[in-house]
């Protein structure tokens, strides 16, 4: 597996499974895109081991084997794998923290045995190792402005939490079919929702009220992340604005449908996706030109 082929595998995984963020990534300078694809591709690769309906082998063993290949690669061993050469190259190129990688793999491992979360704090613990860790892994590629690296870390975590909670709301029925309930059990009790109601063909009133409550939490995470975008270099900001617009658009669409998420998958209309991309495309071109001029002028 050549490095170029590995990056292409990651790009294809991103294009297939992460349509909203993939579209936003097209607003980045070209040299950054493949690194974002590599990080997303690795995350999706691990997620497929945990969630793939076609995988019949020992999932825990497969995940352990992946973790072992990652550890060996980080120690300098050559990775014979469709995704890891690109992932490890990106990690090494940007000095991405190994603790974040370990936290992510630990959350993937939790998905093999944990099917319920008692409280929102418990769920936050899981998300801290999944989406929040991916957010902080992405941060060096997206480039905080000089001196803003530490300040940008918490907004990056919050944006990961916002995106993942949005996915949980959209995918509540699919997750239930896999045997998982990510919404906190204390919240189900609060709104009088039995777990089986999350697997119904239509969304009942109590479930809608529950989802509205959780949507409010997602909005709080989006607000906590908002100031972090301006801490990035200008050429990365249009991508993040577009990602927020698109993922926030999923939340908007869920709300517009009255939280009916069980009758069919909620998607942002293609026209709105195109409008978001077009609106940010001009910003992207201007920011990249301005940034190139500044970098050329630096001694």
Nearest C-alpha neighbor of 36 from the set 10, 69, 63, 72? 10
pTM: 0.91
Range of the domain at 147: 3-297
Write out pLDDT tens, residues 74-118: 999 999 899 999 999 999 999 999 999 999 999 999 999 999 999
Residue 31: CATH number of its domain: 1.10.600.10
Dihedral, CA of residue 206, residue 158, residue 60 and residue 16, to nearest 10: 90
* pLDDT score, position 283: 77
* pLDDT score, position 160: 97
Nearest C-alpha neighbor of 37 from the set 128, 28, 163, 109? 28
User: Directed axis angle between helix 120-129 and helix 131-142, to 10°?
Assistant: 40
Residue 83 corresponds to which tokens in the numbers above?
């995704």
Instruction: Say if residue 270 is exposed, middle or buried (CB neighbours under 10 Å; 0-12, 13-18, 19+).
Output: exposed
Q: Is 28 left (phi over 0), alpha (psi -120 to 50) or beta?
A: beta
For the chain (299 residues), the mean pLDDT of every run of 10, in chain order, is 94 93 93 97 93 69 94 94 96 97 96 96 97 97 96 98 97 95 98 97 97 98 96 94 94 96 93 91 71 53
Cβ count within 10 A of residue 249: 21
User: Directed axis angle between helix 149-170 and helix 120-129, to 10°?
Assistant: 120
* pLDDT score, position 246: 94
Number of domains, the chain: 1
């Amino acid at each position: 597996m050549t490095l170029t082929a590995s990056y292409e595998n990651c790009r294809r995984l991103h294009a297939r499974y992460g349509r909203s963020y993939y579209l936003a990534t097209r607003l980045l300078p070209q040299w950054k895109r493949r690194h974002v694809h590599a990080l997303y591709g690795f995350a999706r690769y691990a997620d497929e081991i945990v969630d793939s309906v076609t995988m019949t082998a020992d999932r825990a063993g497969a995940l352990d084997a992946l973790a072992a290949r990652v550890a060996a690669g980080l120690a300098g061993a050559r990775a014979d794998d469709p995704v890891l050469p690109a992932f490890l190259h990106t990690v090494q190129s940007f000095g991405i923290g190994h603790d974040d990688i370990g936290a992510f793999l630990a959350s993937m491992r939790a998905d093999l045995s944990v099917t319920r979360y008692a409280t929102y704090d418990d769920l936050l613990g899981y998300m801290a190792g999944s989406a929040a860790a991916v957010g902080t892994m992405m941060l060096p590629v997206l480039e905080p402005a000089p001196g803003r690296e530490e300040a940008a870390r918490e907004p990056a975590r919050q944006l990961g939490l916002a995106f993942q909670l949005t996915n949980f709301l959209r995918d509540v029925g699919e997750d239930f079919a896999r045997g998982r309930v990510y919404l906190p059990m204390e919240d189900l009790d609060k709104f009088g929702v039995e777990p089986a109601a999350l697997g119904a063909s239509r969304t009942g009133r109590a479930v809608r009220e529950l989802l509205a409550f959780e949507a409010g939490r997602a909005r709080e995470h989006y607000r906590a992340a908002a100031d972090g975008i301006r801490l990035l270099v200008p050429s990365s900001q249009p991508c993040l604005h577009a990602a927020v617009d698109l993922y926030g658009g999923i939340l908007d669409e869920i709300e517009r449908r009255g939280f009916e998420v069980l009758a069919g998958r909620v998607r942002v209309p293609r026209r709105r996706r195109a409008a978001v991309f077009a609106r940010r495309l001009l910003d992207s071109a201007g920011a990249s030109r301005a940034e190139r001029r500044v970098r050329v002028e630096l001694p």
